[in-house]
Amino acid sequence: NEFGEIGVDGGFLKDAGVNITEMNSGCICCSLVGDFAKALKEVEAKYQPDRIIIEPSGVGKLSDVIRAVERANVENGVLNAFCAVVDANKCKMYMKNFGEFFIDQVANASCVVLSHTTGISEEKLHTCLEMLKEVNPDANYVTAEWDKLDGKTILSAMEKKDCLEAELKKLAEEYAHDHDEDEHEHCHHHHDDDDDEEDEHEHCHHHHDDDDEEDEHEHCHHHHDDDDEEDEHEHCHHHHHDHDDDDEDEHEHCHHHHHHADEVFTSWGMETAHKFTAEELENALSALSDESKYGTVLRAKGIVDGGENWWHFDYVPGEPDVRSGSAGVTGRLCVIGCKLNEDALKELFKA
């Protein structure tokens, strides 16, 4: 699920040998919840998979995604893992500036996988873990460098039945509490009926090994890695809270302030036939840090024609990445952030 209007990640994944259903221009737990339920059922009917992996938008709330999946009531579907991926180098920034969205994802994960741990200092890694465990002391944490792990090891960390049952119980209690107090209901409340369909096997990962999954587990993965809008300069959501100044309060935002991504973030995207050089792309991505000109850019990604080859690119604040990759049908790019200056972005990317 991509929040932006133009889907890019499907192009990144097309060589991975995984069947992909893409949903763009919104969050599957909010504006796209009905479409999500329908898509989930269609995937189950068409492929009858053992496992469905749900990779929500980085600006979605994991608690909302889990509820949406539960309501789907897909036949034989079992939620078996909820996983969040957190960039260890940006953890503090996420925590301070990303507020309720980041905290909700960590708080509701059964497993938190840290990325970019290669070369990180022991002190910085320890600080990151302490911050995360303050939000969620019960999750399994994976800190090893990824190239030293195999898929089975990561999956076993994700699939812990006792953690899963505790998470589901906690969510059920919070859901009941929200109704009792009439708090703003999250996306999932508004679209009851349609959200519920999705969850066939969802593993929002933490699953038990015994899920013999006939029931296609869906895993819900939240990436705060690059896509997850990590440090969203406070303006992105702080203006939605009266007391956001206190860092300590932030842990409570996710319980008492239920904003939807559509209320906080905006996106701009386009299809383009322009042929970019690697240098052009690197310069454009580096320029995105100029907030006064382009707005607060939290994430950018794309696949564009380079003439003799195609370029795949990603951007999170301070980290542009341009690499060669497989060709797309046409060039596509997407920018996500707050108060974006679309005219300036069009000029920058030669729209």
Give the domain ranges of the chain: 18-257, 266-348
What is the pLDDT confidence band of residue 251, given thresholds at 50, 70 and 90? very low
| pLDDT higher at 324 or 61 | 324
State which of 58-72, 174-188, 214-228, 274-288 shows the largest mean pLDDT: 274-288
pLDDT in tens, 121-133: 999 999 999 999 9
The per-residue pLDDT for range 59-109, each reduced to its tens digit, is 678 888 888 888 777 777 888 888 999 999 988 877 876 678 889 999 999
For domain 266-348, the CATH class is alpha beta
What's the N-to-C CA distance of the chain in angstroms?
Answer: 25
CB 26 within 8 A of CB 68: no
The pLDDT mean for the chain works out to 73
pLDDT tens, 107-118? 999 999 999 999
Where residue 188 falls among pLDDT bands split at 50, 70, 90?
Answer: very low
| Residue bearing the bigger pLDDT, 248 or 130 | 130
Q: What is the mean pLDDT of residues 158-176?
A: 61
pLDDT in tens, 189-238: 333 344 333 333 444 433 333 444 334 444 555 554 444 433 434 445 44
Residue 315 has pLDDT above 60, yes or no: yes
What is the predicted pLDDT for the residue at 155? 84
pTM given for the model: 0.62
What are the φ and ψ backbone dihedral angles of 27, each rounded to 5 degrees?
-105, 140
- For the chain, the three-class secondary structure string (H helix, E strand, C coil) is CCCCCCCCHHHHHHHHCCCCCCCCCCCCCCCCHHHHHHHHHHHHHHHCCCEEEECCCCCCCHHHHHHHHHHHCCCCCCEEEEEEEEECCCHHHHHHHCHHHHHHHHHCCCEEEEECCCCCCHHHHHHHHHHHHHHCCCCEEECCCHHHCCHHHHHHHHCCHHHHHHHHHHHHHHHHHHHHHCCCCCHHHHCHHHHCCCCCCEECECCCCCCCCCCCEEEEEEEECCCCCCCCCCHHHHCCCCCCCCHHHHHHHHHHCCCCHHHHCEEEEEEECCCCCHHHHHHHHHHCCCHHHHCEEEEEEEEEECCCCEEEEEEECCEEEEEEECCCCCEEEEEEEECCCHHHHHHHCCC
Please indicate whether residue 216 or residue 329 has the higher confidence score (pLDDT): 329
Q: Which residue has the higher pLDDT, 130 or 169?
A: 130
pLDDT (average), residues 259-285: 84
Q: How far apart are CA 246 and CA 249, in angstroms?
A: 5
The reported pLDDT for the residue numbered 93 is: 79
